Amino acid sequence: MTSRPAPKSFHVKSFGCQMNVYDGARMGELLASEGLRQADADTAELIVLNTCHIREKAAEKVYSDIGRLAKRKTGKPMIAVAGCVAQAEGPEIARRARAVDVVVGPQAYHNLPRLVRDAAAGRFALDTDMPALSKFEALPKRRVQAPSAFLTVQEGCDKFCTYCVVPYTRGAEVSRPWAALIDEAGALIDGGAREITLLGQNVNAWRDGARGLHDLIEALALLPGLARIRYTTSHPTDMHDGLIAAHRDVEKLMPFLHLPVQAGSDRILKAMNRAHDVGAYLRLIDRVRAARPDIAVSGDYIVGFPGESDADFEATLDVVRAIGHAQAFSFRYSPRPGTPAATMDGQIEPHVADERLQRLQAPIAEQQMAFNRATVGKSCAVLIERSGKRPGQMLGKSPWGQSVLIDGGAIGDLIDVEIAAAGPLSLNGRVSALAMV
């Protein structure tokens, strides 16, 4: 590598989960605080690919992106690979993709400015350390200006589900301290956030001393200016009584729960090392619904896990029918290098897994449509997040997390809307009155 002028503009492209979106925003704020200007992907002098390693398809995307960038018509940018692929395959990326200048892991991106300087000086720069001192202390204050903002409260995972790379790419479970979170929430609200979504790989495992996630939610609910609180993703074994009660008691906590069960067969759940069975999951959902009857239940499913028989798969269909989802994500099992499931006996043929995936997605889509249809005629508050495709059209979110299209209102408004029509993926609403929130 030869030296070159330091980049003056940047573009961050995030793949994968919401935590990556959060990390991408923080990397952007960090680069901006160093004087770099935000630009689009065609012109930026530094491109950060903030990658995801969860499934093979996600991980391979980065290599095609690198190939495209290396041949960019406006000149090859400096390329930084961040995120979970960087953590999992750092040295391999350097070998496979010579166009890459910087590799930085999810726990080391506070060092991005130094790594970029090294690369500008002609040295390939790699940092995938998981330092004891958290990156959060080294990052600049939040400057986000959006009505809905993410706030990472907990990172990493100690659960080691046998199919999953996250414990390896994100490291051990760490909760951020209470005071730092109240501080960051305040900065987000000052920047215009009316909704905060608390993020964690196992967000409901968050704790600080004796305080759990429900205590944090209760404290945030007292902050003036904040109208809505959400949290994701939860694990069934950390779904404690206090959090369930918060769904009944805290008005600002939105009626939405993303609680993955992954499969409907106890035998498969055991092989996945999920530490809960189907019965325990269904009892949890009953208790959450008793606390908040209108709650929208979302989930994740994996089909084609090694050893999954037809009967196991039928059991997954039964669980979906028993729950009645407002929405759910379903994936074909993807063997990931270094995880125990990748070398288990009984790997399922791709065409069998594909067929199961389609059979699972049908009832999920029906349930989502039914949930959306049931909101027609109701009134609810909608938080407007951005403009829609047609002139004058705005797009916001219902309390249950659905996208709502309306004519009128401005970004950041919390508006009372009557739901007039429902489609599979969004609702249409009529503005009734400006909410006094």
Contact with ligand SF4 (CB under 6 A) among 144, 166, 253, 268: 166
CA distance 175 to 152: 9
Q: In sequence order, which ranges of 158-223 are alpha helices (DSSP H)?
A: 166-169, 178-190, 213-221
The DSSP symbol for 340 reads G
What Cα–Cα distance (Å) separates residue 230 from each residue in 119, 213, 235, 363? 39, 11, 15, 26
Among 300, 354, 407, 416, which residue sits at the site for ligand SAH (rule: CB under 6 A)?
A: 300
Which of ligand SAH, ligand F3S, ligand SF4, none does residue 83 bind to, with CB < 5 to 8 Å depending on kind?
ligand F3S
Cβ at position 331, least distance to ligand SAH in Å: 4
CA 312 to centroid of chain Cα atoms:
28
Distance, CA of 251 to CA of 246 (rounded, Å): 8
Output 359 or 430, the one with its CB closest to ligand SAH: 359
Q: Which ranges in 99-201 belong to alpha helices (H)?
A: 112-120, 166-169, 178-190
User: Quick one: what does residue 169 bind among ligand F3S, ligand SAH, ligand SF4, none, with the CB cut-off 5 to 8 Å set by partner type?
Assistant: ligand F3S
Computed on alpha carbons and rounded to an integer, the radius of gyration of the chain in Å comes to: 22
Work out whether 20 is an interface residue with ligand F3S (CB under 6 A).
Answer: yes
Q: Which of 333, 431, 326, 322 is nearest to 382 (CA)?
A: 431
Q: Judged by CB under 6 A, which stretch of 50-58, 143-151, 243-251, 374-382 contacts ligand F3S? A: 50-58
Among 49, 52, 149, 203, binds ligand F3S (CB under 6 A): 52
CA distance 416 to 384: 11
Question: DSSP string spanning 11-53?
Answer: EEEE-SSHHHHHHHHHHHHHHHHTTPEE--TTT-SEEEEEE--
Distance of closest approach, residue 205 Cβ to ligand SAH, in angstroms: 10
- Cα gap 57→52, rounded to integer Å: 9
Residues 6+ apart with CB under 8 A from 38: 9, 10, 11, 28, 32, 44
Q: Does 397 help bind ligand SF4 (rule: CB under 6 A)?
A: no
Q: How far is the CB of 165 from ligand F3S (least distance, A)?
A: 6
Of residues 188-207, those binding ligand SF4 (CB under 6 A)? 201-202
166 vs 189, which CB is nearer to ligand F3S?
A: 166
| Minimum CB distance to ligand SAH smaller for 109 or for 305 | 305
Site string for ligand SF4, 233-262 (x = CB under 6 A): --x---------------------------
Please report, as ranges, the residues that interact with ligand SAH according to CB under 6 A: 54-55, 163-164, 166, 201-202, 233, 235, 260, 262, 300, 302, 331, 333-334, 336
Where along the sequence are the contacts to ligand F3S (CB under 6 A)? 16-17, 19-20, 52-54, 83-84, 165-166, 169-170
Contact residues toward ligand SF4 (CB under 6 A) are 157, 159-161, 164, 166-167, 201-202, 235
